[in-house]
Amino acid sequence: MAADLGCQWITSDRSPERPGELLGMCAQGDLHVTIRAAYPLEDVADAHRNVETGHGRGKVALHIGGTLQGGEA
């Protein structure tokens, strides 16, 4: 069923090569990550509260340095 929907299972194998593989998949459009919220590092407590709710689809990201696109979480 997953293959019928175009889903691909990605394991969490940890190796020095893995980040490059994932970046390559992203660059090719083969990896799609849903980010439900992004917080600047100084708002890490708010990000943690968001994760603790257990609600929502997608990842909660911390932005380190610079400014967030859109200006806020």
User: What is the model's pTM?
Assistant: 0.55
- According to DSSP, the residues that pair with 62 across neighbouring strands are 39
Indicate whether 71 belongs to any domain: no
Domain with 32, as residue range(s), is 3-63
- The one-digit pLDDT tens for each residue of the chain (73 residues) are 667 777 767 667 788 888 888 889 988 998 888 899 999 999 999 999 999 998 888 899 999 886 666 544 4
The tokens of 58 are what?
Answer: 């997608």
What is the C-alpha to C-alpha distance for residues 58 and 37, in angstroms, rounded to an integer? 8
Indicate whether 9 belongs to any domain: yes
The tokens of 31 are what?
Answer: 């990896």
Q: Which residues contact 63 (CB under 8 A, 6 or more apart)?
A: 38, 39, 40, 41
Indicate whether 25 belongs to any domain: yes
Indicate whether 56 belongs to any domain: yes
At residue 2, the pLDDT reads 67
Q: How many domains does the chain have?
A: 1
Indicate whether 72 belongs to any domain: no
At residue 41, the pLDDT reads 92
Residue 35: strand, helix, or coil: strand
Indicate whether 69 belongs to any domain: no
At residue 54, the pLDDT reads 85
